[in-house]
């Protein structure tokens, strides 16, 4: 760990750093498992050149999710967007899933979504992810998904997706009411809920990390979970028992997956380009 970062951690947490080991898995920040002189273990990550509000946005998202009292999230111990930028969280020790792990997560996620949000998007208007997707507040999901996801992504994907595919994406943004199902109030979303952002801790409890939290359609979190796998069917069954999905939800899974697929096509290319193109063509 860089001495300047270690000093900042010491000042922020009131104890010097005894040891630090890299934690791998992220594609943006650099992370460490840190032992403090007072015996605490904490998770610390930093970024050499973070976008404005990078860590404070994540910290606010974790706090907002935790306030719902539904899902487990790490405690924010310290946060700074100044140099050295850092986010310090309580350390979650990984453990083995148990028979109730998936069902428990499904029920807790349903409860989180049901708590709701004041709007689609974010009242503070902070952006999402490395592509700084907007989160302007809107009153409907169709408006949110169009102006905060599909249209910005259409601009960012110029030169990545074919011209006809981008034209289809723009056209889809104008027709979302035809596909979105019955209107629902905004849910409190994690916003980036793939398996890598779930840690199974002691007792088989699921902890959610690295949110892109915002008010959105609850089907988005579930579609993201299905996109890359890693969640058992018992999770989805339990969710539906607590908070049943509207008719036709299965036909909308790919619709909600368009946004993360286009993001991955922009970032990584390869098979994501074909996957994003196929998803867009399904609805246009």
What's 271's domain CATH number?
3.90.1200.10
Q: For all residues of the chain together, what is the average pLDDT?
A: 96
Nearest CA among 2, 169, 202 for reference residue 93: 202
Rounded Cα gap, residues 52 and 63, in angstroms: 19
Is there a single domain that holds both residue 83 and residue 116? no
Which ranges in 188-270 belong to alpha helices (H)? Answer: 218-228, 233-242, 249-268
Please name the residues in contact with 57: beta carbons below 8 A apart, sequence gap of 6 or more. 126, 127
Tokens in use for 242?
């607590």
Phi, psi of 34 (to 5 degrees): -115, 130
Which residues form the catalytic set? 192
Band the pLDDT of 29: cuts 50, 70, 90: confident
| Residue finishing a domain among 68, 90, 112 | 90
Check if the beta carbon of residue 261 is closer than 8 Å to that of residue 227: yes
| Residue finishing a domain among 54, 71, 90 | 90
Tokens in use for 96?
């083995």
Check if the beta carbon of residue 215 is closer than 8 Å to that of residue 121: yes
Tokens in use for 171?
């056209």
Residues 208-221: tens digit of each pLDDT: 999 999 999 999 99
Looking at the structure of the chain, the number of domains it has is 2
- pLDDT for the residue 60: 97
Confidence check: pLDDT of 44 > 90: yes
Nearest CA among 188, 18, 164, 54 for reference residue 113: 188
- pLDDT for the residue 24: 86
- pLDDT for the residue 130: 81
Higher pLDDT, 49 or 232: 232
Band the pLDDT of 26: cuts 50, 70, 90: low
Band the pLDDT of 163: cuts 50, 70, 90: very high
Confidence check: pLDDT of 37 > 90: yes
Band the pLDDT of 27: cuts 50, 70, 90: low
- pLDDT for the residue 204: 98
Q: Which CATH number do you get for residue 71?
A: 3.30.200.20
Rounded Cα gap, residues 186 and 216, in angstroms: 5
Rounded Cα gap, residues 71 and 206, in angstroms: 8
Q: Could you tell me how far CA 61 lies from the centroid of its own chain? A: 9
Is there a single domain that holds both residue 111 and residue 208? yes
Is residue 242 domain-resident?
yes
Tokens in use for 193?
């809920």
Residues 119-154: tens digit of each pLDDT: 999 999 999 988 899 999 999 999 999 999 999 999
Phi, psi of 33 (to 5 degrees): -95, 115
Rounded Cα gap, residues 193 and 90, in angstroms: 20
Nearest CA among 188, 158, 182 for reference residue 246: 182
Domain span holding position 14: 3-90
Sheet with 30-36, strands from edge to edge, namely: 17-23, 30-36, 41-47, 85-90, 76-80
Rounded Cα gap, residues 17 and 226, in angstroms: 39
Tokens in use for 161?
């997706």
Percent of the chain with pLDDT over 90: 93
β 214-216/206-208 pair status: unpaired
Please name the residues in contact with 99: beta carbons below 8 A apart, sequence gap of 6 or more. 204
Residues 80-98: tens digit of each pLDDT: 999 999 999 999 999 999 9
Is there a single domain that holds both residue 86 and residue 113? no
Is there a single domain that holds both residue 80 and residue 122? no
Is residue 96 domain-resident?
no
Please name the residues in contact with 274: beta carbons below 8 A apart, sequence gap of 6 or more. none
Is there a single domain that holds both residue 186 and residue 270? yes
Phi, psi of 8 (to 5 degrees): -65, -40
Is there a single domain that holds both residue 227 and residue 256? yes
């Amino acid at each position: 760990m860089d001495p300047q970062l270690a000093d900042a951690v010491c000042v922020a947490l009131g104890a010097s750093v005894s040891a630090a080991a890299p934690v791998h898995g992220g594609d943006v920040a650099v992370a460490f498992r840190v032992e403090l002189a007072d015996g605490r273990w904490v998770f610390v990550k930093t970024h050499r050149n973070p976008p404005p509000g990078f860590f404070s946005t994540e910290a606010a998202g974790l706090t907002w999710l935790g306030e719902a009292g539904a899902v487990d999230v790490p405690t924010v111990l310290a946060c700074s967007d100044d140099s050295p930028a850092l986010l310090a969280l309580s350390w979650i020790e990984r453990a083995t899933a148990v028979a109730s792990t998936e069902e428990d997560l499904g029920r807790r996620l349903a409860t989180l979504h049901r708590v709701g949000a004041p709007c689609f998007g974010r009242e503070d208007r902070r952006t999402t992810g490395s592509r700084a997707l907007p989160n302007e507040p809107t009153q409907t999901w169709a408006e949110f998904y169009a102006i905060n996801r599909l249209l910005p992504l259409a601009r960012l994907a110029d030169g990545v997706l074919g011209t006809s595919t981008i034209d289809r994406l723009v056209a889809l943004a104008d027709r979302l009411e035809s596909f979105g199902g019955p209107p629902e109030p905004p849910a409190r979303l994690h916003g980036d809920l793939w398996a890598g952002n779930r840690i199974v801790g002691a007792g088989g409890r699921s902890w959610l990390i690295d949110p892109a939290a915002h008010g959105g359609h609850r089907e988005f979190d579930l579609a993201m979970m299905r996109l890359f796998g890693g969640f058992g069917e018992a999770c989805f069954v339990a969710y539906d028992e607590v908070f049943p999905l509207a008719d036709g939800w299965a036909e909308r899974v790919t619709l909600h997956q368009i946004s993360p697929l286009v993001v991955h096509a922009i970032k990584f290319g390869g098979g994501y380009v074909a996957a994003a193109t196929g998803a867009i063509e399904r609805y246009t």
